[in-house]
Amino acid sequence: MTPRKPKLKQTSERDDWDYESESASDARRQPARASDPAGLRRTSKHRAPKQPVKPPQKKARSEGSAKAREKESASRKQASLVERISPDIFTRRLIRSIWVIFLSVAAVSILLFIYFFFDGWRFFALRDVQVEGNVLLKRESVKGIAERYAKDGVWRANLKKIREEVYSTGYVKSVEVTRVLPDMIKVVVAERDPIALARLGSSVVCVDREGVMFGDQSLLKAKGVTPLLNDLEESRDQPSKYNQERLAVYQKLMTDLDSSSEKLSSRIQEVFFKKWPEVYVTIEAPDKEGVITVYLGKEEFRIRLNAALDVLDAINRQDLAALNVFRISDAEKLIGARISYLNATSPNRVVVGLEE
C-alpha cells in the first residue's frame, strides 16, 4: 500500500509557485512603480470606477424623441381644443351648403332686379329698324313687323316672330334678325330673284330659279313684259324640281328667240308644257281677236316660230305664192278663214289648222 503524501507539503509547493509568480510579476511592473509618485502599485481595488459613456448618437436620438413627444402632446391638446370649439363635420357641411344656397339666391335676385329694371327703362325702347338686302320687300313693311313685336323694348323683342312674319311675305329665301343694343333691330334678308311669271289659277305670280312661286306680276314690271308660264305645280315655300325642269326649257326658249337683233319673245303671250318636253306657245291673232297656238317642239325654237309668223303674214296679205313656198295645200281656203293653230315642228312645211 502506497503511503499518502502529506497535504502540508502539497500546499507549500503551491505557495512557492505563487511566490515565484508574484516576484516575476513585480519585476515586470517595476517601471510602473517608479512612475507612481506614491510608490504604490495600483490594483483593481484602488482604481476609480469608470462611468458608462453613452454614444453621442443615442443621446441625440433621445433628445429628438423627447421633442417629438412634446410636439405630439401639444398637437393633442390643440386637437382636443378644436374638437371642443368647432362643430362636427356634418354641421360644417350643412353650414357651407346653406351659404352656397344663400349666395346663389342673392345673385339670381340681383340679376332679376337688374333685368326687370333695365327692361322697362326707355333706354331699350326701339328707335330704328335697319334693313339690308331688300329690293322687292319695302323697308316700311319690315319696320312695321319689327315694331309690332318690339313694343316692350329691344331687349324683349320676339325675334322669332319677326323672322317668321318677314319670311311669310314670300319675297325672301332667308331672314336673319338680330338686336343692336340698346335701341335698334337689324334685319338682313336674301330675296328671291323672279325670272318669269306663271299663271296660277286665276292669278299671276312670280317664279324664281328654284321653282318657288311668290308675289304678283307687279314685281317684274321693271324687267319688261315676259310670256306667262303654264302647267307648273304650285310651290310657295319649297323648291320644286318639276318646275325647275320646265324653267330650264323656258329659259332656253327665251334665249333662242332673242338671239338676234329682232327679238321674238315679245310676240309670245303664253308658254305651255302640255306634252312635256314639247313646247307650245300662243301668239296674238292677225285680227287681234283671240290667240293662235303654235307648236314648236323641242328645239330650233326661233327658226320654227319665224316660219309660223311668215305663214300668218302671207295669209294676212293673201299672198298665195308665199304660201306655196311653205307647201301649204288648199292655200285659197286660208284666205279670210279663222286660224286655230300652226304646227311648225317642220319649218319647211307648216301645217295650218282652221277653227271649226
Please report the DSSP string for 45-78 in residue order.
TTSPPPPP---HHHHHHHHHHHHHHHHHHHHHHH
pLDDT at residue 87, rounded to an integer: 53
Q: Cβ distance 213 to 235 under 8 Å?
A: yes
> ω before 277 within 30° of 0 (cis)?
yes
> How far apart are alpha carbons 302 and 54 in whole angstroms?
129
> How far apart are alpha carbons 310 and 308 in whole angstroms?
5
- Interval 51-98: pLDDT, tens: 555 555 544 455 556 666 776 666 665 555 445 544 567 677 788 888
Q: Packing angle between helix 159-168 and helix 139-148, nearest 10 degrees?
A: 140
What is the second-level CATH architecture of the domain 122-191? Roll (3.10)
CA distances from 112 to 108, 118, 124, 316 (A): 6, 10, 16, 84
Domain extent listing, the chain? 86-119, 122-191, 194-354
- Which residues make beta-bridge pairs with 284? 291
- Interval 260-276: pLDDT, tens: 888 899 899 999 998 88
User: Does an H or E element contain 94, and which?
Assistant: helix 89-119
pLDDT at residue 93, rounded to an integer: 79
pLDDT at residue 109, rounded to an integer: 83
Task: Check residue 286 and report its DSSP letter.
Answer: T
> How far apart are alpha carbons 181 and 192 in whole angstroms?
29
CA distances from 169 to 162, 173, 240, 291 (A): 11, 10, 19, 35
Residue 182: CB partners within 8 Å, gap ≥ 6?
123, 124, 154
pLDDT at residue 308, rounded to an integer: 93
Q: Is the dihedral of CA 94, 96, 98, 100 positive or negative?
A: negative
pLDDT at residue 80, rounded to an integer: 53
Q: Is the dihedral of CA 330, 335, 336, 341 positive or negative?
A: positive
pLDDT at residue 355, rounded to an integer: 80
What is the second-level CATH architecture of the domain 194-354? 3-Layer(aba) Sandwich (3.40)
pLDDT at residue 31, rounded to an integer: 46
> How far apart are alpha carbons 297 and 67 in whole angstroms?
115
Residue 337: CB partners within 8 Å, gap ≥ 6?
354, 355
pLDDT at residue 27, rounded to an integer: 46
Q: Is the dihedral of CA 226, 228, 231, 233 positive or negative?
A: positive
Q: What is the largest CA-CA distance in the chain?
A: 202
Ranges of residues in the chain with a pLDDT under 70 are 1-68, 71-88, 90, 115-122, 221-225
pLDDT at residue 225, rounded to an integer: 63
